């Protein structure tokens, strides 16, 4: 007998909860019922899917492989359900978005405008770092991600939809704050506050400096743009951030954008999804909406005097 969708759903819950008890509560089942379904699934597979590590359980190699398929099947069943509902004439649906923390400064406005056209839809939104974005899209845990240029070799498709300029920021009383046409070499020895190593902003800045035969030397490392802005305002150094993130600080004159040669670094925001993914109607509509309207809806702050 083949394993069932119910067994895969229970297996996926146990794997994510790392507990039979918590999975049972989440699924409104008894723990013995959950255990029985896992045993039947293991009997069919012919291998153990979990192993005990003290009081916790961990996936075996076979379990890890099966989890990838279980997540994909779950996502496809969800998409099939949404598609069938739409064929019935229902103007409902949902879209699951995952985005970089930097995108959180503009994405809510884009989502709100989209909701005006589709008021009955449900939107689930996750915010995570670059590695989390790649994992979510690659493992089909989200409909799409809003992020910088996606990495190669992960079966991801990226569609650019809006400019994302990176600028150098400083405290208003920094010695370079009122300089004009500052040479990049003047920043070579500056104390920079940077994002974590796998951040798209960090990698773009390091690549930009290298192209100019210079090295960006990190002085401090932060995992959020908000933390970088606070550190720069506290006069701990300079920062390189997306222009989208500093509209309020520029208006309040808490930060300034330095006039540095060859800046801003021009990047783009991308809608990223798993290559070959079949979208339900609502996610497809959001993707098309963002690509068509983001540039006109979301204006960049004016930072030039």
- Report all structural domains of the chain as residue ranges with CATH numbers, in order of start: 5-71 (1.10.10.10), 75-161+268-297 (3.40.190.10), 164-267 (3.40.190.10)
pLDDT tens profile 253-303: 999 999 999 999 999 999 999 998 888 888 888 999 999 988 887 777 777
Phi, psi of 33 (to 5 degrees): -65, -40
Mean pLDDT value across residues 16-31 = 87
Length of the chain in residues, anyone? 305
pLDDT digits (tens, 9 = 90+) for 195-251: 988 888 899 999 999 999 998 888 899 988 899 999 999 999 999 999 989 989 998
Separation CA 96–CA 75 (nearest Å): 11
pLDDT band at 30 (very low <50, low <70, confident <90, very high): confident
Give the three-class secondary structure for 170.
strand
- Taking the C-alpha atoms of residue 61 and residue 248, their distance in angstroms, rounded to an integer, is 48
pLDDT tens for residues 34-87? Answer: 889 899 888 888 999 999 887 789 999 998 999 999 888 888 888 787 777 665
Q: Does residue 62 contact residue 48 with C-beta atoms inside 8 Å? A: yes
User: Pick from 96, 106, 101, 117: which is nearest to 297 by CA?
Assistant: 106
What's the pLDDT at 192? 92
Question: Which residues, other chains included, contact 279 with Cβ-Cβ below 8 Å and sequence gap of 6+?
Answer: 79, 143, 273, 287
| H or E stretch at 252 | none
The answer to whether residue 88 scores a pLDDT higher than 70 is: no
Give the model confidence (pLDDT) of 103-127 as tens digits: 888 899 899 999 888 888 889 999 9
Q: Do the strands 156-170 and 144-147 form a parallel or antiparallel pair, or are they unpaired?
A: unpaired
State yes or no: cis peptide before 80, omega within 30 of 0.
no
pLDDT of residue 136: 92
The rounded distance, in Å, linking the Cα atoms of 246 and 229 is: 8
Residue 90 binned pLDDT confidence (cut-offs 50, 70, 90) = very low
DSSP state of 195: -
Find the mean pLDDT for residues 118-144.
90
Rounded-to-integer distance, Cα 226 and Cα 230, Å: 6
CA dist., res. 254 & res. 172, Å (int): 7
State residue 229's pLDDT score. 94
Query: 14-23, 82-91, 182-191, 201-210: lowest mean pLDDT where?
Result: 82-91
What count of other Cβ atoms lies within 10 Å of the Cβ of residue 32? Answer: 10
- Burial of 193 per CB tally in 10 Å (0-12, 13-18, 19+): buried
What integer pLDDT is reported at residue 85 of this predicted model? 65
């Amino acid at each position: 007998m083949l394993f069932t969708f119910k067994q895969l759903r229970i297996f996926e819950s146990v794997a994510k909860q790392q507990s039979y008890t918590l999975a049972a509560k989440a699924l409104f089942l008894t723990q013995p019922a959950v255990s029985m379904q896992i045993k039947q699934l293991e009997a069919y597979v012919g291998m153990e899917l979990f192993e005990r590590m003290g009081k916790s359980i961990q996936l075996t190699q076979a379990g890890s492989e099966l989890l990838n398929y279980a997540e994909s099947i779950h996502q496809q069943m969800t998409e099939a359900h949404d598609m069938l509902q739409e064929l019935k004439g229902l103007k409902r649906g949902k879209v699951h978005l995952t985005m970089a923390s930097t995108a959180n400064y503009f994405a809510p406005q884009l989502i709100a405008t989209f909701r005006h056209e589709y008021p009955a839809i449900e939107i689930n939104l996750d915010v995570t770092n670059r590695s989390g974005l790649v994992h979510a899209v690659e493992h089909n845990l989200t409909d799409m991600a809003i992020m910088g240029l996606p990495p190669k070799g992960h079966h991801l498709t990226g569609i650019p939809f809006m400019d994302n300029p990176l600028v150098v920021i400083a405290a208003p009383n920094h010695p370079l704050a009122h300089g004009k046409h500052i040479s990049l070499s003047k920043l070579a020895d500056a104390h920079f506050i940077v994002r974590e190593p796998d951040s798209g902003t960090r990698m773009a800045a390091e690549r930009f400096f290298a192209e100019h035969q210079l090295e960006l030397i990190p002085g401090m490392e932060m995992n959020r743009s908000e933390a970088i802005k606070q550190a720069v305002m506290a006069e701990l150094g300079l920062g390189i951030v997306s222009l989208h993130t500093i509209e309020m600080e520029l208006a309040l004159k808490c930060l300034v954008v330095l006039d540095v040669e060859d800046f801003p670094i021009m990047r783009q925001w991308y809608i990223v999804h798993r290559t070959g993914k079949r979208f339900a109607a609502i996610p497809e509509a959001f993707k098309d909406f963002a690509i068509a309207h983001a540039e006109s809806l979301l204006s960049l702050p004016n930072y030039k005097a």
